[in-house]
Amino acid sequence: MKRFLLFSLAFLAFTGACTVLADKQEDSLPTIHLVMFDDQKPNDEELVEEALSEITAERLGIRVDIDTMNAMEYSSEYNLLLSSNPDIDLIAMINGTDTMPNLVSMDLLLPLEDLVKEHGMSIQGALGNALQTGVYRQHLYGIPSIRQFGSMYGIVLLRGVAEQCGIDISHIKSYDDLDEIFAKVHANFPSLTVLSPYNRDWGLANYLTFVDTLGNESSGVLQNGGLTDLTVVNYFETEEYFNALKKIRQWYLLGYIHPDVLLLQESGSELMNHVESFSCFNIIMLENDQKNPPGIRCLIPLSPPVAATSSSQRLLWGVPASCRYPEETMKLLDLMYSDPQVVNLLQFGIEGIHYTIQEDGTMLHEKQKNGSSGYYRPYAQAGNLELLLTAQSLGSDFPNRLEELKNATEVSRAYGFVFNKTSVESELSAIDAVLNTYRIPLELGCVDPETELPVMLRELKEAGIDRVIQEKQRQLNIWAEQYR
Angle at which helix 449-463 crosses helix 465-483, to 10 degrees, equals 70
Assigned domain for 86 exists: yes
Sign of CA dihedral 461, 465, 471, 472: negative
Q: Do 130 and 203 have their domain in common?
A: no
Q: Do 193 and 302 have their domain in common?
A: yes
Cβ–Cβ < 8 Å for 196, 190: no
Report angle CA 124, 130, 133 to the nearest 5 degrees. Answer: 115
Lowest mean pLDDT across 43-57, 284-298, 416-430: 284-298
Q: Do 138 and 27 have their domain in common?
A: yes
Q: What local confidence, expressed as pLDDT, does residue 371 receive?
A: 58
Give residue-wise pLDDT tens across range 263-315.
Answer: 988 888 889 989 999 999 998 877 665 445 556 888 899 999 999 998 899 89
More confidently predicted of 26 and 154: 154
Q: Do 203 and 280 have their domain in common?
A: yes
Measuring CA to CA, which residue among 295, 44, 46 is closest to residue 169? Answer: 295
Q: Judge whether residue 228 has pLDDT over 90.
A: yes
Q: Do 298 and 162 have their domain in common?
A: yes
Q: What local confidence, expressed as pLDDT, does residue 59 receive?
A: 96
Tell me the C-alpha distance between 283 and 407, whole Å. 19
Percent of the chain past pLDDT 90, that is, above it, reads 68
Contacts of 64 (CB under 8 A, 6+ apart): 31, 32, 34, 49, 52, 53, 56, 332
Assigned domain for 216 exists: no
Q: Which domain CATH number covers 118?
A: 3.40.190.10
Assigned domain for 175 exists: yes
Q: Do 107 and 157 have their domain in common?
A: no
b/e map 365-398, b = 16+ CB within 10 Å: bbbbeeeeebbbbeebbbbbbbbbbbbbbbbeeb
Assigned domain for 122 exists: yes
The mean per-residue pLDDT over the stretch 377-404 comes to 87
Tell me the C-alpha distance between 129 and 227, whole Å. 17
Q: What local confidence, expressed as pLDDT, does residue 27 receive?
A: 67
Give residue-wise pLDDT tens across range 130-154.
Answer: 999 999 999 999 999 887 778 889 9
| Per-residue pLDDT band at 20 (split at 50, 70, 90) | very low
Q: Do 332 and 259 have their domain in common?
A: no
Q: What local confidence, expressed as pLDDT, does residue 321 receive?
A: 95
Q: Select from 254, 278, 306 the last residue of a domain.
A: 306
Q: Do 64 and 203 have their domain in common?
A: no
Q: Do 190 and 91 have their domain in common?
A: no
Contacts of 90 (CB under 8 A, 6+ apart): 32, 33, 34, 35, 317, 318, 319, 323, 329, 332, 333
Assigned domain for 93 exists: yes
Assigned domain for 13 exists: yes
Q: What local confidence, expressed as pLDDT, does residue 5 receive?
A: 41
Q: Do 48 and 71 have their domain in common?
A: yes
- Averaged pLDDT score across all residues of the chain: 89
Total of domains in the chain: 2
Q: Which domain holds residue 35?
A: 2-144+312-348
Assigned domain for 299 exists: yes
> What is this structure's pTM?
0.85
The mean per-residue pLDDT over the stretch 204-208 comes to 94
Q: Do 163 and 294 have their domain in common?
A: yes
Q: Do 324 and 197 have their domain in common?
A: no
The mean per-residue pLDDT over the stretch 84-105 comes to 90
